[in-house]
Amino acid sequence: MKSTLTQRLVVALVMVFLLVYVGYQIWRYVTPAYKTETAFTYTVTETTSVNGVVLRNEVLLDNSMGSGVASYLVGDGAKVAGGTVIAEVYRNKEDARNIEQLRALEKKRAQLERAQDPGTTSFAHTDVLNRQIFSELDTIIGSVESGLMAGAAENADNLLLLMNTKQIATGRQSDFQETINQLKAEERYLSNQISRDPRRITAPQPGYFIRTIDGFEGKVPYKEIPDLTRAQVDEMLAQPVQSESDYVGKVMLGHRWYYAATVPEEDASLYKEGASVTLDFHLSGTQPVPAVVYSVNEDRDNGGAAVIFRCDYINESLVNLRFTQADVKFKSISGLRVSSSAIRYEGIQKGVYVSRGETMQFRPITILYESPGFVICLEMDTNTPEGANGLQQFDEVIIGGAQLYDGKPLK
């Protein structure tokens, strides 16, 4: 009896041993012997934050509003020629309000007259109008989603014109004459309510109109901006901004402007004169602005530097900037991302080991960017001999293990 029990126990132990052994072999076969990661495309952009002041070549309009009320005919950032009427100054708020309502009625009437014009409707085919309507709708939706609303009002006007034209073209509306006559009557009434003709203010020179006055116009001679020191920029940043002004506005001469910022000593080496960067002012509806590092004026006594950026792009939001923070984004670098722990050497050649089937293979790499924990490697053309032997996207890179060598079996 004892013998039978002992035999059963021995058999059970042998079976357990066999199961553990077989299980271990299966686990060893299906489990990679080395820890790996997948090489994938990655982009890095070095960014620093700065505080600075926007400087332009600005000319104040000579005329002031006095006790009157200005009605503007052009918007901020609008390009104007010399002599362009920028604003009309009315004696009181009621006159200014009446003229704004009058212009809105005139615009609405002009749209209806154009929509029913035979020259417009005779060539208007329904399918063409539908495509144009959907195109304008897509543009408006895209503007809303991106936050870039600069041209949304014009797109909305175009959409209304197209829809009115379709009403005529499809016969749903014979004309808009009754509405046009009503608008004309309202226009005559409002015209009679205006007590006196306005005083017109014109642009003295060609440029871009800016409505906001902050007291820093001409504070620094335009030609001296590239030579500003850190102390001068700091002094400007400490000054208060003028909150109210009697001036109607100003004209920015030319489209070029500068952003003067101060940077600490440890960041000064990042800025190279002539380098292309991007300035992100975090303005709603405005994309980051391309710029050039125009000058780097180091403060040899106190450390740090004044960095002067030159920009050539303007819009309604940018023309009203004065004191603002910005993120400076340097050149973006794209390539294959690999953990630093994966880097090995074969002789003097730097590279990584990858898992190819059941074999370990060495792949040379060219490092474009290094950061704590990872590097960005050049992604080579796989159609060339060098590229075929180099690191490729989706390669399984070995990031841990000992005694690694090219051609080593992985199983």
Tokens representing residue 57 in the block: 């070549």
Tokens representing residue 148 in the block: 């870039």
Average pLDDT over residues 203-215: 90
What is the pLDDT at residue 120? Answer: 64
What is the pLDDT at residue 70? Answer: 81
pLDDT at 293 over 90: yes
What is the pLDDT at residue 117? Answer: 77
Average pLDDT over residues 253-262: 94
**Helices (H), strands (E): how many in the chain?**
9, 20
Segment among 36-50, 66-80, 161-175, 394-408 with least mean pLDDT? 161-175
For 19-57, the pLDDT digits (tens) are 766 665 555 555 556 788 989 999 888 889 999 999 999
The answer for residues whose C-beta is within 8 angstroms of residue 353's C-beta and 6 or more apart is 342, 344, 360, 361, 362, 363, 397, 398, 404, 406
What is the pLDDT at residue 297? Answer: 94
Question: How far is the C-alpha of 29 from the C-alpha of 227, rounded, in Å?
Answer: 69
> Does 306 or 390 have the greater pLDDT score?
306
The answer for residues whose C-beta is within 8 angstroms of residue 50's C-beta and 6 or more apart is 261, 262, 263, 307, 325, 326, 328
What is the pLDDT at residue 171? Answer: 76
Q: Residues for the chain: how many in total?
A: 411
**Burial bucket for residue 14 (CB in 10 Å: 0-12, 13-18, 19+):** exposed
Segment among 23-37, 316-330, 350-364 with least mean pLDDT? 23-37
pLDDT at 168 over 80: no
What is the pLDDT at residue 112? Answer: 83
Question: How far is the C-alpha of 138 from the C-alpha of 117, rounded, in Å?
Answer: 26
Average pLDDT over residues 271-284: 91
Specify the pTM. Answer: 0.64
What is the pLDDT at residue 23? Answer: 63
Q: Contact 80/209 with Cβ under 8 angstroms?
A: yes
HEC sequence for 251-301 = EECCCCEEEEEEECHHHHCCCCCCCEEEEECCCCCCCCEEEEEEEEEECCC
Average pLDDT over residues 261-273: 91
What is the pLDDT at residue 97? Answer: 83
What angle do helix axes 177-193 and 93-116 make, rounded to 10 degrees?
A: 160
Question: How far is the C-alpha of 178 from the C-alpha of 186, rounded, in Å?
Answer: 13
What angle do helix axes 126-146 and 152-169 make, rounded to 10 degrees?
A: 160
pLDDT at 197 over 70: yes
Query: Which band of pLDDT confidence, cut at 50, 70 and 90, is reported for residue 374?
Result: very high
